[in-house]
C-alpha cells in the first residue's frame, strides 16, 4: 500500500504530535511580537495587559497575560516571554477567534 493511502484524503497534512502521545512543543512570544500582533506599542502591552511573574504584586487577573522571565541570571535584565497557550487563552478571553490550521500551503 502507498503511504498516502494510509493517511486518507489529506496525505500532505503531517500527523499531529498529540495524536501519538508527544507533548506539545512550548513556544514563547516576546512582548514586541505580541505588540505587533495586536498593532499597539510594546509599552501599552507591558502597562495594560501583562502580569509579570515574580515582579507584579497581588493575584493575577485572568484578563492579564502571564509573562515569565526566561533569563537564567536574576541579576541581568529580565527577558519577558509569554507562552503560546497563554497568549491563545488571553486572546480568546479578549474576543479574538483562534483557528489551528495545522499546515501552511502555497
Q: What is the pLDDT of residue 13?
A: 58
Task: Give the distance between the most distant pair of CA atoms in the chain.
Answer: 60
User: Tens digit of pLDDT for each residue in 43-84?
Assistant: 999 999 999 999 999 999 999 999 999 999 988 999 999 999
In a domain, 49, yes or no: yes
**Position 50 in a domain:** yes
Cβ neighbour number for residue 74 with a 10 Å cutoff: 8
31 within a domain of the structure (yes/no): yes
Residue 99 lies in a domain: no
Please count the structural domains in the chain.
Answer: 1
Domain enclosing residue 34, as ranges: 24-93
The pTM (predicted TM-score) of the whole model is 0.71
Task: Please choose, from the candidates 30, 25, 41, the residue with its C-alpha nearest in 3D space to the C-alpha of residue 79.
Answer: 30
Residue 39 covered by a domain: yes
What is the per-residue pLDDT for 42? 97
User: Does residue 78 sit within a domain?
Assistant: yes
- Residue 88 domain-assigned? yes
- pLDDT tens for 26-53 read 789 999 999 999 999 999 999 999 999 9
Amino acid at each position: 500500500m502507498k503511504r498516502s493511502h494510509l493517511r486518507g484524503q489529506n496525505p500532505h497534512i503531517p500527523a499531529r504530535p498529540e495524536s501519538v502521545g508527544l507533548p506539545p512543543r512550548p513556544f514563547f512570544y516576546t512582548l514586541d511580537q505580541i505588540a505587533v500582533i495586536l498593532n499597539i506599542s510594546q509599552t501599552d502591552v507591558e502597562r495594560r495587559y501583562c502580569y509579570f511573574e515574580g515582579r507584579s504584586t497581588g493575584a493575577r487577573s485572568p484578563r492579564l497575560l502571564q509573562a515569565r522571565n526566561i533569563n537564567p541570571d536574576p541579576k541581568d535584565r529580565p527577558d519577558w516571554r509569554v507562552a503560546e497557550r497563554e497568549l491563545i487563552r488571553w486572546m480568546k478571553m479578549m474576543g479574538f477567534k483562534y483557528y489551528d490550521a495545522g499546515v501552511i500551503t502555497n
